Amino acid sequence: MANKNVIWCDSTNLTKDLTGKTYIVTGANSGVGFETTQQLVKQGAHVVMACRRVEAGKEAAQAFNGLKGSYEIIACDLADLQSVRAFVSAFQANHNKLHGLVCNAGMVNMHNEPRYTKDGFEITMATSIDGHFLMTESLLETMKNTGESRMLILSSVVHAGNPKNRYQLHFDDLDWKNRKYNNFAAYGEAKVASVLYAKELSERAKGTGVTTYSIHPGWARSNFGGGGNGITKALMSVTKPIFSLLNFSDSSWESAQTSLHCLLSDEAPKHSGAYFSQHSVLYRDKQCRKGGWPMESPNPHANNMADARKLVEVCRQRVGLHRF
Ligand SMILES: NC(=O)c1ccc[n+]([C@@H]2O[C@H](COP(=O)([O-])OP(=O)(O)OC[C@H]3O[C@@H](n4cnc5c(N)ncnc54)[C@H](OP(=O)(O)O)[C@@H]3O)[C@@H](O)[C@H]2O)c1
């Protein structure tokens, strides 16, 4: 049964002919990314599925057989800068146009101690930001040369925190090396960074045809939050149907609506850089709960342009782009 609170992408956007258009979706094998990919292929697009696990991508893509468009799978582990560079090279070898880059993949570390990538980054931040930053910056010229191109990055309601504790970037310790680790705070901070990056890139890309969006997709009944211990897994399987019945959570298709709106509507580019949110009972600020396309984040740290510019400067250093 559909969640009555869902904001739906206008059906005219879901019937547009996308033949000849190319998109990249990260994390395309699961949940929101899978539904976004399937819809784009249905409408005739060519989608490059950037998957950490190629076999999982192949299995998921069986659902696209017989659809109007096409797809290919290229391996990409966002938590490994070398893998992102290899992905970009493989993409550029065969494509010179990119109409949409959907930085969709994300994860929460279900263990209460930090995990570090081989580049030395805390894994939540590395997956949400460092990997997507390197991919986006490396493909920016291709996007500009496409004429009109859209970059989406998935944030989360969690980035908003609560009125007494708003998440913010700790530039002196983005990787939790000198603070007591909190996995949900790490996720919240990574998602603040996502909102800020969309804002900064929109400003920098003004007039080039590239527009940007950060997104809270809703509370998706996807595979998100897996990978914890037995207790967490058991808790998730019991609570999922209850949240669904209470109209708190959404199917992955419902959660793909915001991404599809930002990718396909004529209205979205008028709000480049903005935060687009599906409804969410999880906002601690009641006025935000119905969501908005777009809406202002209640977290002032996610609206701070000085932090947004600093984040980009710092990310350039982290991913090695400052040398170019
Ligand atoms: N579910 C929610 O309620 C919710 C709420 C707010 C925001 N979000 C955000 O929405 C986005 C999509 O989440 P979802 O609900 O669709 O979750 P999901 O079903 O768990 O899908 C996440 C996808 O990200 C991929 N991924 C994780 N780490 C990766 C890495 N290092 N490199 C490449 N891909 C990686 C996963 O690949 P594997 O299959 O290989 O793990 C999977 O394809 C995420 O950014 C999430 O933070 C979700």
* SS3 per-residue string spanning the chain: CCCCCCCCCCCCHHHCCCCCCEEEEECCCCHHHHHHHHHHHHCCCEEEEEECCHHHHHHHHHHHCCCCCEEEEEECCCCCHHHHHHHHHHHHHHCCCCCEEEECCCCCCCCCCCCECCCCCEHHHHHHHHHHHHHHHHHHHHHHHHCCEEEEEECCHHHHCECCECCCCCCCCCCCCCCCCCHHHHHHHHHHHHHHHHHHHHHHCCCCCEEEEEEECCCECCCCCCCCCHHHHHHHHHHHHHHHHCCCCECHHHHCHHHHHHHHCCCHHHHCCCEEECCCCCCCCHHHCCCEEEECCCCHHHHCHHHHHHHHHHHHHHHCCCCC
Looking at the chain, the whole-number percentage of residues with pLDDT higher than 70 is 95
The per-residue pLDDT for range 128-177, each reduced to its tens digit, is 999 999 999 999 999 999 999 999 999 999 999 999 999 999 999 999 99
Over residues 250-265, mean pLDDT: 96
What is each CA distance from 34 to 62, 104, 152, 247, in whole angstroms? Answer: 11, 10, 15, 22
CB 96 within 8 A of CB 165: no
CA atoms within 13 A on the CB side of 53: 6
Over residues 89-112, mean pLDDT: 97
Predicted local distance difference test score (pLDDT) of residue 322:
81
Q: Is 52 in the pocket of ligand 1 (CB under 6 A)?
A: yes
* Separation of CA 131 and ligand 1 centre (Å): 13
* Separation of CA 207 and ligand 1 centre (Å): 31
- Position 246 confidence tier, pLDDT thresholds 50, 70, 90: confident
Choosing from 55, 222, 244, 297 the residue with most ligand 1 atoms within 8 A of its CB, the one to mutate for a pocket test is 222
CB 198 within 8 A of CB 275: yes
| pLDDT reading at 229 higher than 70 | no
CB 276 within 8 A of CB 56: no
Q: Determine which of 13-17, 22-26, 85-89, 235-239 has the lowest per-residue pLDDT on average.
A: 235-239
Predicted local distance difference test score (pLDDT) of residue 282:
94
Over residues 246-268, mean pLDDT: 93
Q: Is 34 in the pocket of ligand 1 (CB under 6 A)?
A: no
Looking at the chain, the whole-number percentage of residues with pLDDT higher than 90 is 88
| pLDDT reading at 82 higher than 60 | yes
Q: Is 224 in the pocket of ligand 1 (CB under 6 A)?
A: yes
Predicted local distance difference test score (pLDDT) of residue 207:
97
Active-site residues: which are they? 187
Q: Is 223 in the pocket of ligand 1 (CB under 6 A)?
A: yes
pTM summary value: 0.96
Q: What is the mean pLDDT of the chain?
A: 95
Write phi, then psi, for 125 (nearest 5 degrees): -65, -40
* Separation of CA 27 and ligand 1 centre (Å): 6
- Position 230 confidence tier, pLDDT thresholds 50, 70, 90: low
| pLDDT reading at 17 higher than 80 | yes
* Separation of CA 166 and ligand 1 centre (Å): 23
Domain boundaries, the chain: 13-319
Q: Determine which of 70-74, 230-234, 262-266, 270-274 has the lowest per-residue pLDDT on average.
A: 230-234
My answer on whether omega of the bond before 269 falls inside 30° of 0, hence cis, is no
- Position 248 confidence tier, pLDDT thresholds 50, 70, 90: confident
| pLDDT reading at 239 higher than 80 | no
* Separation of CA 105 and ligand 1 centre (Å): 4
Question: How long a stretch of residues is the chain?
Answer: 324
Q: Is 280 in the pocket of ligand 1 (CB under 6 A)?
A: no
Q: Which two tokens stand for residue 300?
A: 């002032």
* Rounded Cα–Cα distance for residues 5 and 7 (Å): 7
Ligand 1: which residue has its CA nearest to atom 24? 105
CB 195 within 8 A of CB 132: no
Atom of ligand 1 nearest to the CA of 27: 43
13-319 placed in CATH 3.30.465.10:
no
The per-residue pLDDT for range 169-199, each reduced to its tens digit, is 999 999 999 999 999 999 999 999 999 999 9
- Position 126 confidence tier, pLDDT thresholds 50, 70, 90: very high
* Rounded Cα–Cα distance for residues 217 and 237 (Å): 20
Q: Is 127 in the pocket of ligand 1 (CB under 6 A)?
A: yes
CA 32 from chain center: how many Å? Answer: 9
Q: Is 293 in the pocket of ligand 1 (CB under 6 A)?
A: no
Predicted local distance difference test score (pLDDT) of residue 236:
67
Predicted local distance difference test score (pLDDT) of residue 235:
65
| pLDDT reading at 227 higher than 60 | no
Predicted local distance difference test score (pLDDT) of residue 242:
76
Choosing from 25, 30, 127, 233 the residue with most ligand 1 atoms within 8 A of its CB, the one to mutate for a pocket test is 30
Predicted local distance difference test score (pLDDT) of residue 324:
58
Q: Is 257 in the pocket of ligand 1 (CB under 6 A)?
A: no
* Separation of CA 245 and ligand 1 centre (Å): 23
What is each CA distance from 100 to 40, 156, 171, 187, 224, in whole angstroms? Answer: 10, 20, 30, 25, 23
